[in-house]
Amino acid sequence: MIFKRKIPNKTILSVVLPLAFLLSAPVSAQEPELESRNWYLALENDRPNIIEQEFIKGANPNAVDSKGNPSLMLAIRNKSWKVVDTLLANRQTNVNIENEARETPMMYLALMGETARLRDLQARGGQVNRVGWSPLHYAASKGHEETVRYLLSQKAIVNAPAPDGTSPLMMAALSGKRAVVDVLLAAGADPSMQNAQGLSPADWARSANHEQLASYLDQAVARKAAAAPAAAGTYSGGAVETYGVPERVEQPDLNRVQTVTVEPEPAPAADSSSSKPASSSSTSRYFDLDRFDKPVQP
């Protein structure tokens, strides 16, 4: 029997609320804040000539705004691609710089489905895999199939857990994109994996009313469970390395085995908390999936 778990409303809200700051050193403490209004306008309006002029004056390409957003990530969010190229041409630009939510330029590009630019940034040193939320999570959350395929081809960890155990497959399930779910499953994504709240990919699909996809994922879990014992008892042939263990074990004489009666021990007291999902508020700080659809505030 497949039990359908409903995700608490607080958890759903935590996925779509604005960015929450993680317990990490503020970016503003690592890089200087943007001081030039012209610099910010250049990032917003794709004016590479202004960026070049500011470089001549000694501007730092890794400068951040008052909210801790690095220049490169502001340019990416605004799709100021000429400015992005100008920043990347500067050897001092940190391509793996993090904002206060520990997001990176690679993650922004993945969220936007900018596969070609993601590839270029990786060639410049951008990291595909990282601890916590990863570019694969972000690409899957928006259902960007091409980007997901590319990241997997670059050895992205398919079952990489977020801080609370949320997997890329769970994010793909939330997006409702069956094609992305299939790509991840084919790459070895575990449909039975649960996060710290005990929520599976099927649960995430149901939370967004993707009922058919949820049923599809339930079936994937059932197929995996059915295949496990069959695989354990199957051997395709060939020589076997026994590592010192006899290939055949002599069967005991059952007539010589004494019958021993063992009194069962009292069952331990039931722990009511173990059968309940974790707290409705996730221990992980989710990213705002829709924030790139909102206007950028200076």
Tens of pLDDT, residue by residue over 149-171, are 999 999 999 999 999 999 999 99
Q: Is 292 exposed, middle or buried (0-12, 13-18, 19+ CB in 10 A)?
A: middle
The kind and range of the H/E element at 174 are: helix 168-175
Asked whether residue 45 falls in the same domain as residue 165, the answer is: no
Query: Which is nearest to 15 in space by CA: 255, 218, 195?
Result: 195
Asked whether residue 64 falls in the same domain as residue 113, the answer is: no
Residue 13 CA neighbour count, 13 Å, CB half: 5
Q: Give the count of beta carbons closer than 10 Å to the beta carbon of residue 126.
A: 20
Between vectors from CA 180 to CA 176 and to CA 184, what angle results, nearest 5°?
125
Asked whether residue 204 falls in the same domain as residue 154, the answer is: yes
pTM of the model: 0.72
Whether residue 289 is predicted with pLDDT greater than 90 in this model: the reply is no
Query: Which of 66, 97, 128 lies at the terminal end of a domain, its last residue?
Result: 97
Contact 185, 267 (CB under 8 A): no
How far is residue 113's CA from residue 140's CA, in Å, rounded to a whole number?
9
Asked whether residue 62 falls in the same domain as residue 115, the answer is: no
Whether residue 181 is predicted with pLDDT greater than 50 in this model: the reply is yes
How far is residue 276's CA from residue 279's CA, in Å, rounded to a whole number?
9
Query: Which of 49, 72, 97 lies at the terminal end of a domain, its last residue?
Result: 97
Whether 238 is in a domain gets the answer no
According to the model, what pLDDT value does residue 37 have?
A: 85
Whether 46 is in a domain gets the answer yes
Tens of pLDDT, residue by residue over 57-102, are 999 999 999 899 999 999 999 999 999 999 999 999 999 999 999 9
Using N-to-C axis directions, what is the helix angle for 178-186 and 211-232, rounded to 10°?
10
Query: Which of 65, 97, 129 lies at the terminal end of a domain, its last residue?
Result: 97
Asked whether residue 177 falls in the same domain as residue 139, the answer is: yes
Asked whether residue 17 falls in the same domain as residue 132, the answer is: yes
Whether 234 is in a domain gets the answer no
Contacts 24+ apart (CB under 8 A), 206-211: 206/4, 206/6, 206/7, 207/6, 207/7, 207/11, 207/12, 207/174, 208/173, 208/174, 208/175, 208/176, 210/173, 210/176
Whether 119 is in a domain gets the answer yes
Asked whether residue 74 falls in the same domain as residue 188, the answer is: no
Asked whether residue 148 falls in the same domain as residue 217, the answer is: yes
Between vectors from CA 180 to CA 160 and to CA 7, what angle results, nearest 5°?
65
Could you give the number of structural domains in the chain?
A: 2
Average pLDDT for 108-134: 97
Provide the β-strand partners of residue 7. none
Tens of pLDDT, residue by residue over 230-277, are 655 544 444 434 334 344 434 444 444 444 343 444 443 444 333 333
Whether 233 is in a domain gets the answer no
Host domain of residue 108: 8-22+100-224+280-291
Contact 160, 127 (CB under 8 A): no
CATH number at residue 202: 1.25.40.20
Asked whether residue 18 falls in the same domain as residue 139, the answer is: yes
Asked whether residue 154 falls in the same domain as residue 16, the answer is: yes
